[in-house]
Amino acid sequence: MSSFDVIVVGGGNAAFSAAVAAREAGAKKVVLLEKAPKEQRGGNTHFSGAIFRHVFNKASDVARFVPDVEQKYPGFHAGVKPYTAELFREDLMRVTEGRTDPVLSKILIEESWDAMCWLQDTGRHKFELAQSVMGIKVEGKIKWPVGAIIRTVHEGVGLSKTWFETGEKVGVDIRYDHAVVSLTQDKSGRVSGVVVRSPKGLQTLTAKAVILGSGGFETNPEWRLRYLGKPWDHAKVRGSNFNYGDGLKMALDIGAMPWGHWSGCHATPIVATAPDYGRRDMTDKTNRLSYTQGVMLNVEGNRWVDEGADFNSYTYAKYGGMILQQPKSLSYQIFDSKVLDLLEPRYSSSEPFRSDTLEGLIDQLKIDKKQALKTLNAYNAAAAKGGAFNPAVLDGHRTEGIEPAKTNWAQKLDKPPYLCWPVTGGITFTFGGLKVNEQCQVVASDWKPMPGLYACGEMVGGLFHYNYALGSGLMSGVVFGRIAGRAAVASSGKTAKKAKSAKSAKSAKSAKSAKSVKSKKPAARKPAARKAARR
């Protein structure tokens, strides 16, 4: 049996934020338990695009993270709009249909800038502009959307690698092949440690506090079927193949309160030939998010969604799930050559179908060919109405007279060659989690905080419902991981102080009793003195 100040369960962005924050707050012995072997470490963080959504009040603030931004992108400061707390809040409210937890979302927004600075200063991360995903070239200049535009260098691979390096440098004890199977509690009900399956067999590790940062249940087909329904049990998993909901289960087993949107998840359009689980060499390169510049047909030959409802950073996490719900969980993204320079670079990681005619393209697909051509002809007849095409704004370049409409970027498909990428829906993480308070302490089903137990990252329930704004998940991991790490240390310190005070009070009481006994006449009070001593 080993004893620690803080045990952190998980090996991704949120878990390391908690572990490093705990060390920074004064915890001497912090252990991080990574379920995976070293060569598969890092959870979903390794597979992420590593974009962080955060508040900044003027464009020049970004120079703190990317000092040479103006040299690399002349005119950047003049062309980027501030991303205020109000805008962040509006985005969260819009994509979650007003259901985001008001307390947690307020913390996420208000702490996002400081958390970014902490990532750079304490976490030792390096940043760059996410030009390949977020930058849009218009008339030779890069235009940037309002919101998330910064990512870590080398994306998720760099984010994960740097966290492990920083953790080691600050003295976090990192243990691989350590799968936590249950939580332990003392007689008072306080969480006192974990039971872990390690290369040495089952072990019990004790601690003053435990922080759960081990992600959702996206890898678990049985739970996906249970909570998300059909056909989620056969969805491809974009990231780690270790996230089975272990942390959620062990917390629920001791009375934690489930919270948030348990039938919701973050999914994304990915190439249909993607593997069943994320490939470490591919990371997020299976994503296919430029559907805004074309049309999507299902196997029945029909359009089924407004591809231009909003920028893809606000729709992709929802549309991935909608694709999975289509017949055979398959859709076809079709583009003409006018927009090839607008497709994000990840499209180059697989070969599309090509043809100089729409008929020739459709003939290569496993689709209702007659209906598909009818749909495309109807789309072309209805497209290119309203405002002028401008990929950098919601341009109102729309269709008229068809359903579903395409409300922005609705150019005709009229410039060969034509290209098509078949896509399916890949699951990234689940929205259902645990209820936590403002200190990230897990709340029990009796609405009382559970002493000694904290949660962060994807295990925090209530932030995301129905949909998701790009970059807010990693930001949540840092914000609430840092809070959990600090709170766990503060709480354990208070507990120790309280225990010490109680011990001192007991000693003082005993001393007072002993003094009182000695003041009595010995002959008359000897039995009482012996009885007091036995206590």
SS3 assignment, position 296: strand
Q: How far is CA 479 from CA 134, 159, 414, 443, in A?
A: 23, 15, 47, 18
pLDDT digits (tens, 9 = 90+) for 197-256: 999 999 999 999 999 999 999 999 999 999 999 999 999 999 999 999 999 999 999 999
Q: Is 282 left (phi over 0), alpha (psi -120 to 50) or beta?
A: alpha
SS3 assignment, position 143: strand
Q: Among 365, 355, 354, 306, which Cα is nearest to 331's?
A: 365
Q: How far is CA 496 from CA 208, 411, 438, 486, in A?
A: 9, 66, 22, 15
Least confident of 134-148, 205-219, 408-422: 134-148
- Asked if the structure places residue 412 within a domain, the reply is yes
DSSP-assigned states of every residue in 454-480:
EE-GGGB-SS--S---TTHHHHHHHHH
Q: How many domains does the chain have?
A: 2
Cβ–Cβ under 8 Å, residues 317 and 467: yes
- Asked if the structure places residue 173 within a domain, the reply is yes
Q: What is the DSSP letter of 505?
A: H
Q: Do 111 and 221 lie in a common domain?
A: yes
- Asked if the structure places residue 255 within a domain, the reply is yes
- Which of 394, 426, 458 delimits the end of a domain? 426
Q: Do 254 and 285 lie in a common domain?
A: no
- Asked if the structure places residue 28 within a domain, the reply is yes
Cβ–Cβ under 8 Å, residues 280 and 451: no
- Asked if the structure places residue 500 within a domain, the reply is no
Q: Do 233 and 288 lie in a common domain?
A: no
- 179 pLDDT tier (thresholds 50, 70, 90): very high
- Which of 375, 398, 426 delimits the end of a domain? 426
Pairing of strands 418-430, 353-355: antiparallel
pLDDT digits (tens, 9 = 90+) for 483-492: 999 999 998 7
- 503 pLDDT tier (thresholds 50, 70, 90): very low
Q: Do 289 and 415 lie in a common domain?
A: yes
Average pLDDT in the chain: 92
Q: Do 236 and 353 lie in a common domain?
A: no
Expressed as residue numbers, the domain containing 360 is 267-426
SS3 assignment, position 184: strand
Separation of alpha carbons 492 and 306, rounded Å:
51
- Mean pLDDT computed over 505-519: 40
Compute the half-sphere exposure of residue 297: CA atoms within 13 Å on the CB side of its CA.
Answer: 27
- Asked if the structure places residue 529 within a domain, the reply is no
Q: What is the DSSP letter of 7?
A: E
Q: Do 122 and 259 lie in a common domain?
A: yes
Our CA angle for 15, 16, 20, nearest 5°, is 125
- Mean pLDDT computed over 386-410: 97
Q: Do 225 and 289 lie in a common domain?
A: no
Q: What are all long-range contacts of 165-168, with beta carbons under 8 Å and residues at least 24 apart?
A: 165/124, 166/16, 166/20, 166/122, 166/123, 166/124, 167/16, 167/19, 167/20, 167/32
Q: Helices marked H in 28-139 — which ranges? A: 69-72, 76-79, 85-95, 102-121, 131-134
Q: What are all long-range contacts of 365-372, with beta carbons under 8 Å and residues at least 24 apart?
A: 365/332, 365/420, 365/422, 366/299, 367/297, 367/299, 367/300, 367/301, 367/332, 368/299, 368/300, 368/301, 369/301, 370/301, 371/300, 371/301, 371/302, 372/297, 372/301
Q: Do 194 and 343 lie in a common domain?
A: no
Cβ–Cβ under 8 Å, residues 164 and 42: yes
Q: Do 258 and 380 lie in a common domain?
A: no
- 519 pLDDT tier (thresholds 50, 70, 90): very low
Report pLDDT for 376.
98
Separation of alpha carbons 158 and 186, rounded Å:
40
Q: Do 98 and 230 lie in a common domain?
A: yes
What is the pTM assigned to this prediction?
A: 0.90
Q: Do 157 and 272 lie in a common domain?
A: no
- Which of 400, 426, 452 delimits the end of a domain? 426
Report pLDDT for 494.
54
- Mean pLDDT computed over 358-374: 98
Q: Among 227, 218, 186, 184, which Cα is nearest to 204's?
A: 184
Q: Do 188 and 204 lie in a common domain?
A: yes
CA quadruple 346, 349, 353, 355: dihedral sign: positive
- Asked if the structure places residue 309 within a domain, the reply is yes
Cβ–Cβ under 8 Å, residues 25 and 36: no
- Asked if the structure places residue 134 within a domain, the reply is yes
- Mean pLDDT computed over 429-435: 98
Report pLDDT for 2.
67
Question: SS3 for 212-242, per residue?
Answer: ECCCCCCCCHHHHHHHHCCCHHHCEECCCCC
Cβ–Cβ under 8 Å, residues 8 and 22: yes
3: which 2 tokens? 């004893």
Q: CATH no. for residue 441?
A: 3.50.50.60
Q: How far is CA 339 from CA 144, 249, 517, in A?
A: 18, 46, 94
Q: What is the DSSP letter of 384?
A: S
pLDDT digits (tens, 9 = 90+) for 288-298: 999 999 999 99
How many C-beta atoms lie closer than 10 Å to residue 396's C-beta?
16
463's CB contacts (< 8 A; 6+ apart) are 92, 96, 100, 101, 104, 105, 108, 260, 431, 472, 476
100: which 2 tokens? 């985001």
Length of the chain: 535
Q: CATH no. for residue 294?
A: 3.90.700.10
